Amino acid sequence: MIAILLGMLIVLCGVLFLRLHAFLALFFGALVVAAATAPEAISDSTLQHSTASISEVSGNHLVLANVGKDLGSKPGAYYLVDASDKTGQNLGPMLIWVERFDKEDNETAAYLGEPLPGDVSIGKAWLVSQSKYDQASKLSGSSAINRVASSLGKTFEKIGLLIAMASIIGQCLLSSGSAERIVLGIRQALGERWTTLAFVISSFVLAIPVFFDTVFFLMLPLAQAMARRTGRDYLKYVMAIIVGGTLAHSLVPPTPGPLFVATELDVSIGEMVMGGIGVGIWGVIAGYVYMLWANRTWQIPLRITGAAEAAGSEWSEKDELPSFTISILPVFVPIVLLAMKTVYEAVTEGNAGGEVAIVDVVISFLGDKNIALSLGAVLAMLTLVGKPEMTWIGLGKSVQKALADGGVVVLITCAGGAFGEMIRQTNIGATIAESLPTSAGGMGLLVTAFLITLIIRVIQGSATVAMITAIGIVVPVANQIGLPFHPVYLALAIGCGSKPLPWMNDSGFWVISRMSGFTERETLQTFSVLLTIMGIVSFLATLVFAMFLPMV
């Protein structure tokens, strides 16, 4: 815990007071946390969901309890390690061969290739696969700098290409005038008075099949173009995107967090979707009200940097802009491809084969987020090529500028991901689990689930990781006391708890800050406060529904 507090202090003081570049502050914070973490904690955090305790031994038959979701059920080499020392100092560890796993009447058993030696007394022991054990041992023996560097690389693997392609899309839409054409279409359809509401509704709907970061990347150029044309309300347009998209990310499947939580609680996807929309709408309303107040209180200008700088001068004639159809394609095509893959996987449930195997491959390829965004970038460049007097050299310079600006965002985001991973390696989740009271009931369990998720979210930054960690802590308590309401409310409470108090260890914080041109202080007082209000209000709505509409 001291290491975590020290790391958080380094990040906060480095950014707010020493004015260090965000990448350096996050990197140094991650390095300090990594250096101060004990090898045992690193190993424990790696094996947290990959073990099973042995409750009974009978010849070649092991009865398992507390089976982790990542243990797996495939035959192969496994280790027996001491339950109080997962690094295996007391028991050996002992390498055994498991021929098969059986599960009957909520009991899981492992059958060994040969019985354990008679002189072996395993006491309290864990079963863990050889690959997971070797992975944990290797990670716990790595140096701090190697673990930080590895985490940087893993974060880049997840979002690096996505940010690069989104930067190209944003700059090309602005430079070609496509973003302005889309804005004109929105204003003509709804009128300028309802443009902000259109942003909210659009981002909420899009964030159901699409990651929020992707929705933000795709819609930000529209907010920038609208602010450039009206000369005001840039903060309102940016916050409208956040208001609509952020709650869907944590409350409505098929995004990973709510999907995993619903699965663990045996809540159907349809129930989670309806519940997420039902309580999320109240958070959206509260966020919308705060957005209007913040826009009147703080006048944050559109800072003409990065992609916005490439937009050049205003288009003076509507006829000079690209057509609406061509303009919308770089945004529309990636969203359609991503949604198509989501719907296809939900319908087929992985049972596609034979004659439709080629369809499965094609949809999986085109629906990959990196491929979809790359195709969007190609279409965006084509809109820029169609601009009068645009040359290939000019196109190259625009793309080069977009990648340079996107590179800064990638560095900061990857550093934030590494900082969060180093905090996770301290095994903070297990510490919270040990201090959790087992006698919480009814509404108290909802409050406990919300607070646990909130604490984990604040400490390590990732909303999805906070939800996945919290459900592992809460489910045993729920199974013990029983729920006086539908389990969807417990899933929603965890989703709401993943929203409040995002700060510098959240990669989304830096994406919004750098892409929008907000300073760190402006991002804290707008984005961070906005998500906190929305999460709390949505949770209060969850409590009210659970109390008066328990659905038991």
Domain assignment present for 191: no
Burial 238-265 (b: 16+ CB within 10 A, else e): bbbbbbbbbbbbbbbbbbebbbbbbbbb
Residue 540 host element (H or E): helix 529-548
Cα 128 to Cα 68: distance, rounded to the nearest angstrom? 10
Q: The domain spanning residue 130 has which CATH number?
A: 2.40.10.170
Closest CA relative to residue 246, chosen from 289, 279, 216: 216
Closest CA relative to residue 246, chosen from 545, 533, 542, 544: 533
| Burial (Cβ within 10 Å: 0-12, 13-18, ≥19) of residue 548 | exposed
> Taking every pair of C-alpha atoms in the chain, what is the biggest distance, in angstroms?
89
Can you tell me the mean pLDDT for 468-491? 79
Cα 453 to Cα 542: distance, rounded to the nearest angstrom? 15
Closest CA relative to residue 37, chosen from 414, 399, 398, 425: 425
Instruction: Output the pLDDT for position 183.
Output: 63
Can you tell me the mean pLDDT for 388-398? 78
Cα 336 to Cα 248: distance, rounded to the nearest angstrom? 18
Can you tell me the mean pLDDT for 235-243? 92
CB 15 within 8 A of CB 399: no
Does the pLDDT at position 428 exceed 80? no
Cα 231 to Cα 109: distance, rounded to the nearest angstrom? 67
| C-alpha triplet 76, 81, 84: angle, nearest 5° | 150
Instruction: Output the pLDDT for position 247.
Output: 77
Instruction: Output the pLDDT for position 238.
Output: 92
Amino acid at 236: K
When divided into structural domains, the chain yields a total of 1
Does the pLDDT at position 290 exceed 90? yes
Domain assignment present for 9: no
Cα 341 to Cα 510: distance, rounded to the nearest angstrom? 28
Domain assignment present for 195: no
The answer to whether the pTM exceeds 0.75 is no
452-458 contact pairs (CB < 8 A, 24+): 452/497, 453/493, 453/494, 453/496, 453/497, 453/498, 454/497, 454/498, 454/500, 454/501, 454/535, 456/428, 456/429, 456/432, 457/497, 457/498, 457/499, 457/500, 457/501, 457/502, 458/500, 458/501, 458/503
- In percent, the amount of the chain with pLDDT more than 90 equals 16
Does the pLDDT at position 285 exceed 60? yes
Per the structure block, which two tokens stand in for 101?
């796993």
Can you tell me the mean pLDDT for 272-280? 88
Reported confidence tier of residue 311, pLDDT bands at 50, 70, 90: very low
Can you tell me the mean pLDDT for 488-504? 91
Closest CA relative to residue 131, chosen from 98, 89, 84: 98
Cα 355 to Cα 505: distance, rounded to the nearest angstrom? 47
Domain assignment present for 354: no
Domain assignment present for 474: no
The segment with the largest mean pLDDT, out of 57-61, 136-140, 285-289, 467-471, is 285-289
Reported confidence tier of residue 430, pLDDT bands at 50, 70, 90: low
Instruction: Output the pLDDT for position 494.
Output: 93
Q: 114-128, 166-180, 324-338, 424-438: lowest mean pLDDT where? A: 424-438
> What sign does the CA torsion over 416, 418, 419, 425 have?
positive
Instruction: Output the pLDDT for position 81.
Output: 83
Question: What is the three-state SS of 101-158?
Answer: EEEECCEEEEEECCCCCCCCCCCCEEEEEHHHHHHHHHHHCCCHHHHHHHHHHHHHHH
Domain assignment present for 459: no
Per the structure block, which two tokens stand in for 354?
């034979």
Domain assignment present for 476: no
Amino acid at 499: K
Amino acid at 233: D
Reported confidence tier of residue 90, pLDDT bands at 50, 70, 90: very low
Does the pLDDT at position 5 exceed 60? yes
Domain assignment present for 106: yes
Cα 180 to Cα 228: distance, rounded to the nearest angstrom? 9
Reported confidence tier of residue 279, pLDDT bands at 50, 70, 90: very high
Per the structure block, which two tokens stand in for 485?
């309401």
Does the pLDDT at position 316 exceed 60? no
Domain limits at 65?
50-140
Closest CA relative to residue 466, chosen from 415, 429, 418: 429
Can you tell me the mean pLDDT for 360-366? 87
